[in-house]
């Protein structure tokens, strides 16, 4: 489905009203799950036990993907301390696109700009189709989307699809992590290091109860965020 920016903006007021009535109410509805065509379905693991909160991943993401100041595709959120000195500990939570298989942002997009790539399962934004309506920003229960102040279209983590992945490298955040707390790979390949860790370790996915089927897995440290 597609429409021009002018056509869409003309009908936006009524649509915006509908959106305000509760964009996340139908998250567990009948959206199709990802079915990739080449047996590649990218996902990521954040090992919260290995993360030291250095934010090197955030800096690398910004630099490699030329993310403007004031917005970000990735944040590491610190909480704590838990416990008493000298045993007090901090927890670090990765906030970024979860590349949901049942993605509300895709469901609400009126132009087809937000979509799941059949090649690799990445949730992406077609800049040529995006009209900047911000429906996807409102619908995302993880609050990870923003309007890029330079391109004026919706933006978020794309697993470095146009940068590091295109150059045959791992995503910038994964490359830069000094503790190997981030693991990227093909969830449909059982021999992949990511798949192997998911088989062996206890992991969780954030807000899984919403039915979004996130492809971001986490090794918990302390209390699990739900
Ligand atoms: S985390 Fe938000 S932006 Fe990313 S796929 Fe899910 S709903 Fe869409
Ligand atoms: S995969 Fe790329 S775009 Fe996504 S958070 Fe990591 S560095 Fe940023
Ligand atoms: S670079 Fe690695 S250790 Fe540092 S904050 Fe990011 S995920 Fe955590």
What is the model's pLDDT at position 37?
A: 75
What does pTM read for this prediction?
A: 0.86
pLDDT digits (tens, 9 = 90+) for 18-31: 333 333 333 333 33
pLDDT digits (tens, 9 = 90+) for 140-172: 999 999 999 999 999 999 999 999 999 999 999
How far, in Å, from the CA of 156 to the mean position of ligand 2?
Answer: 9
Ligand at shortest distance from the CA of 181: 3
CA torsion, ordered 205, 57, 152, 108, to nearest 10 deg: -10
Average pLDDT rounded to a whole number, residues 90-107: 97
Nearest CA to ligand 3 atom 1: 177
Ligand at shortest distance from the CA of 176: 3
Nearest CA to ligand 3 atom 3: 51
Cα–Cα dist 156/150, whole Å: 13
Q: Are 58 and 69 in contact (CB under 8 A)?
A: no
Confidence of residue 225 (pLDDT cuts 50, 70, 90): confident
Q: Would you call 222 helix, strand, or coil by DSSP?
A: coil
How far, in Å, from the CA of 54 to the mean position of ligand 1?
Answer: 25
Q: Where are the alpha helices (DSSP H) in the chain?
A: 5-10, 12-20, 56-64, 104-108, 135-139, 172-176, 193-200
How far, in Å, from the CA of 5 to the mean position of ligand 2?
Answer: 28
The residue written with tokens 């993880």 in the block is: 142
Average pLDDT rounded to a whole number, residues 42-50: 98
What is the model's pLDDT at position 35?
A: 66
pLDDT digits (tens, 9 = 90+) for 47-90: 999 999 999 999 999 999 999 999 999 999 999 999 998 899 99
Cα–Cα dist 225/80, whole Å: 13
Nearest ligand 2 atom, CA 60? 7
- Indicate if the pLDDT at residue 14 is higher than 60: no
Ligand 3 binding pocket mutation candidate from 63, 175, 181 (most atoms within 8 A of CB): 181
- Indicate if the pLDDT at residue 41 is higher than 60: yes
Cα–Cα dist 123/103, whole Å: 8
Cα–Cα dist 3/184, whole Å: 35
Ligand at shortest distance from the CA of 104: 1
What is the model's pLDDT at position 33?
A: 46
pLDDT digits (tens, 9 = 90+) for 180-216: 999 999 999 999 999 999 999 999 999 999 999 999 9
């Amino acid at each position: 489905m597609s429409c021009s920016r002018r056509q869409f903006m003309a009908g936006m007021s009524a649509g915006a009203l509908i959106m305000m009535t509760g964009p996340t109410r139908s998250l567990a509805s009948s959206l199709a799950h990802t079915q990739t065509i080449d047996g590649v379905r990218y996902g990521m693991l954040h090992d919260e036990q290995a993360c030291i909160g250095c934010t090197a991943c955030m800096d690398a993401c910004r630099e490699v993907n030329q993310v403007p100041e004031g917005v970000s595709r990735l944040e590491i959120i610190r909480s704590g301390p838990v416990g008493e000195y000298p045993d007090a500990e901090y927890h670090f939570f990765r906030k970024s696109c979860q590349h949901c298989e049942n993605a509300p942002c895709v469901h609400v997009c009126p132009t087809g700009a937000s979509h799941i790539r059949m090649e690799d399962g990445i949730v992406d934004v077609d800049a040529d189709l995006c009209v900047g309506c911000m429906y996807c920003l409102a619908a995302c229960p993880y609050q990870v989307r923003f309007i890029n102040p330079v391109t004026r279209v919706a933006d978020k983590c794309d697993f470095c699809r146009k940068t590091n992945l295109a150059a045959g490298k791992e995503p910038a955040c994964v490359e830069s992590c000094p503790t190997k707390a981030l693991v990227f790979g093909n969830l449909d390949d059982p021999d992949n290091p990511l798949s192997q860790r998911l088989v062996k370790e206890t992991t969780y996915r954030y807000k899984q109860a919403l039915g979004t089927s996130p492809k971001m897995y986490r090794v918990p440290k302390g209390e699990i965020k739900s």
